[in-house]
Amino acid sequence: MLRFVVSLCVLFACLAPAQAQNASAEDLVRRMAIEVTAQVRKNPELVHSPAQLAALVDQRLMPRFDFNRITQMAMGRNWPRASGGEQNQVVTEFSKLLVRTYSNALASLKDLDVQVRDSRSNSGSDVTVRTQMIGRAKPVAIDYTLSNASGGWRVYDVTVEGVSLITAYRDEFNGIVGSSGVPGLIAALKQKNAK
């Protein structure tokens, strides 16, 4: 389930100001989905080239994700326990893992489309954009939570059919840190990335 959640991830926010804010977050999610699915459909050889898929994900999607925030939230209460160097290592290794996971899942996108349903403002500058993947027997609900930071809209959580990416990884990370400490988490992420 976690791999499915993350893979659907390779795809892809006061009244008048909130509507404009939501529209631009919706536009970003829509553009991400269109760009990536168009590339996969246009270049079928990508399906057989992990390096090219990783480059596509790295170029088109990763700049739109806030990996520092994703990692901090996934580590939860364990984040302050890590030194600055350890925090940087966890962010680096977790980012690599997500890029690889997204890359491996891109092939399934050639037959699917993303439909943006609506969005809602959360606290502060956060927006959740609700989408669904269509092209399967049953549409799959995917919510992207974005924050409007100085660099523009960036995704920091994805929820698929009610399962949050951050929550799923937090459980796994807590277990590893509980038994092996932060160095154990770094080692586990490096091991996954070496496969």
Residue 103 CA to residue 126 CA, distance in Å, equals 27
Looking at the DSSP bridge assignments, the partners of residue 65 are 155
Q: Give the residue from 26, 149, 134, 147 showing the smallest Cα distance to 157.
A: 147
- The CATH superfamily assigned to 2-188 is Tgt2/MlaC (3.10.450.710)
Collapse the DSSP code of 94 into the 3-class scheme (helix H, G, I; strand E, B; otherwise coil) and give the result.
helix
Q: Give the residue from 10, 8, 104, 93 showing the smallest Cα distance to 52.
A: 104
Residue 195 CA to residue 173 CA, distance in Å, equals 19
pLDDT at residue 108, as a whole number: 65
Residue 57 CA to residue 110 CA, distance in Å, equals 15
Location of structure tokens 């937090």: 170
Q: Indicate if the pLDDT at residue 2 is higher than 60.
A: no
Asked if 37 contacts 11 with a C-beta cutoff of 8 angstroms, the reply is yes
pTM comes to 0.79
Confidence band for 109, pLDDT divided at 50, 70 and 90: low
Task: Please write the tens of the pLDDT for every residue from 36-51.
Answer: 778 878 887 777 777 8
Task: Please write the tens of the pLDDT for every residue from 55-101.
Answer: 887 887 788 899 999 999 999 999 999 999 999 999 999 998 888 77
Higher pLDDT, 17 or 132: 132
Confidence band for 152, pLDDT divided at 50, 70 and 90: confident
| Tokens linked to 118 | 């609506």
Computed over every residue of the chain, the mean pLDDT equals: 81
Residue 179 CA to residue 90 CA, distance in Å, equals 16
Mean pLDDT of 156-175: 91
